[in-house]
Amino acid sequence: MRQKFNIVTLGVNDFQKSVDFYEKGLGWEKSSASQGDIAFFSLGGIVLSLYPRHLLAEDATVDAQSSGFSGITIAYNAKSETEVDEVLAEVQKIGATLVKPAQKVFWGGYSGYFKDLDGHLFEVAYNPFLEMDGNDNLILPT
Amino acid sequence: MRQKFNIVTLGVNDFQKSVDFYEKGLGWEKSSASQGDIAFFSLGGIVLSLYPRHLLAEDATVDAQSSGFSGITIAYNAKSETEVDEVLAEVQKIGATLVKPAQKVFWGGYSGYFKDLDGHLFEVAYNPFLEMDGNDNLILPT
């Protein structure tokens, strides 16, 4: 198994509302590979996919029922503390909910969390110790 | 907010066991940015991070309690049906559990699911309609 994952799929309760969150709200470009009830957004390196939650559970052959913490978070790395504040303000304007206001955190960065329309948790963080390449991907030491 | 996410963090119950799953089991290279109870694996474009589940919940200021479907799946795109079979066999040898045996699926591909030591759901799929670039990233039409 190569050191790679290709797609993160978020199960969503109202497909069109969630597509609108990214496409109209954030202005992200949806791939023309999207069709019917699946939407793809290329993030340059990984693909974000949206798919109805009950169909995603069905596809994985698991029970769709759930409660509480999903055990997964997805992080967006901002390039400054100011950008963290801006992103958290932007997503709240289009329907996301602030979970943890941006603050200095123990590892030396500045970070906050929001949840999207379906409760998926996203961290928005500025990490002064990490650099990004020309594609806004984090550069990690090997 | 740029069209980008940078890190997927999996909350794990036994940190060292989960690190071993990727590092020793799959032979993935752990970044030297890893320290204490956080591990980073560069996937070329996105970073996979492992962090104790209760600390991840605490960091996000949410209750760690949960049950059932997380609502998120992560996909690995194989380059052939044979590779799907091989990957599903490989991960089971190192402690993952088969959830859905590989099979032809309605969208024209071949896919199965496994769950890791903490129940996170991973799809292993061959999609004959998508190509990958030289870094094994999917090429999506704009």
Interface confidence, given as ipTM, is: 0.91
Residue A94, φ and ψ in degrees, nearest 5: -110, 20
Q: If 0-12 CB within 10 Å is exposed, 13-18 middle and 19+ buried, where does residue B135 land?
A: exposed
Residue A91 half-sphere exposure toward CB, CA atoms < 13 A:
26
Q: From the list B41, B118, B137, which residue is nearest A3 (CB)?
A: B41
The reply to whether B141 falls in a domain is no
Considering the domain architecture, whether residues B78 and B118 belong to the same structural domain is answered as yes
User: Would residue A67 count as lying in a domain?
Assistant: no
What pLDDT does A67 receive? 84
Report the pLDDT averaged over residues B4-30: 95
**CB B72 to CB A68 under 8 A?**
no
| Residue A127: inside a domain | yes
Q: What percent of chain A has pLDDT over 90?
A: 82
B51 and B81, same domain (yes or no): no
pLDDT tens, position by position, B82-134: 999 999 999 999 999 999 999 999 999 999 999 999 899 999 999 999 999 98
- What amino acid occupies position B118? D
Residues A30 and A80 grouped into a single domain: no
Global pTM? 0.91
Task: Kindly state whether A98 is in contact with chain B, defined as any CB-CB distance less than 8 angstroms.
Answer: no
B68·A73 Cβ contact <8 A: no
| Interchain CB distance below 8 Å, B91 and A56 | no
How far is residue A6 CA from its own chain's centroid?
Answer: 14
Separation CA A81–CA A109 (nearest Å): 9
Same domain (yes/no): A35, A77: no
* CA distances (Å), origin B42, targets A103, B24, B39, B114: 26, 16, 10, 21
Same domain, A42 and A77: no
CA dist., res. A81 & res. A103, Å (int): 9
Domain count, chain A: 2
Predicted confidence (pLDDT) per residue in A110-130, tens digit: 999 999 998 999 999 999 999
How near does any CA of chain A get to the CA of B92, in Å? 12
Domain containing B20 — which CATH number?
3.10.180.10
Residue type, A118: D
B11 at A interface, C-beta within 8 A? yes
Q: Which domain holds residue B80?
A: 73-133
